[in-house]
């Protein structure tokens, strides 16, 4: 039964994610992203991580997507503009070099992450300490407090930028 649920949730997550990047209407993209987050929460339940599943729904499908929906509605963008024919014309020579450099850096980071994954212990005793809500809260507000605050500031700056962009269009 878990295998069938895994494939169903996985298919929904993949189809919704492809729909997000394939839509021209931003409102449809936001709604498909919510469906993708819901499918990911279902996958977390199958993996016996209920706290992560609830966090996925409350934070991402709830708070973050409401913020995205608010920005899309505030900017009142009916459809996406057609992409320019030439990427080089849009980014220029320096932009393509920067994109290539960032792509290589991301590839190196992924290789490092996969290599580091081999050294992680997945024993039952170890996973209990990871899924404990008290341990997650302790780590979040001590060891990872800087990243937590930077994320908050980033979301605040994005909201302010959206409001400024919306005000420019109305004046």
What value does the mean pLDDT of the chain take? 77
pLDDT at 169 over 70: no
Alpha-carbon gap, residue 100 to 170, rounded angstroms? 37
38 Cβ contact list (under 8 Å, min separation 6): 12, 57, 61
Alpha-carbon gap, residue 7 to 52, rounded angstroms? 19
Tens-digit pLDDT profile for residues 47-106: 888 888 888 888 887 777 777 777 777 776 666 566 555 555 555 566 778 878 878 887
Pick the CATH number of 1-81 from 3.30.70.1290, 3.30.1540.10, 3.30.470.20, 1.20.120.1200: 1.20.120.1200
């Amino acid at each position: 039964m878990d295998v069938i649920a895994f494939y169903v949730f996985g298919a929904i997550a993949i189809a919704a994610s492809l729909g997000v990047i394939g839509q021209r209407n931003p409102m449809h993209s936001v709604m498909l992203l919510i469906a993708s987050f819901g499918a990911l929460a279902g996958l977390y339940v199958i993996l016996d991580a209920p706290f992560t599943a609830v966090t996925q729904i409350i934070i991402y499908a709830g708070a973050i997507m409401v913020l995205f929906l608010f920005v899309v509605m505030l900017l009142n963008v009916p459809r996406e503009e057609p992409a320019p024919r030439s990427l080089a014309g849009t980014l220029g020579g320096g932009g393509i070099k920067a994109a290539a450099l960032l792509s290589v850096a991301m590839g190196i980071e992924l290789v490092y992450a996969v290599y580091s994954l081999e050294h992680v212990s997945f024993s039952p005793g170890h996973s209990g300490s990871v899924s404990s809500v008290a341990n997650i809260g302790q780590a979040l507000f001590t060891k990872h407090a800087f990243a937590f605050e930077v994320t908050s500031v980033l979301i605040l700056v994005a909201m302010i930028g959206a409001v400024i962009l919306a005000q420019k269009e109305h004046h």
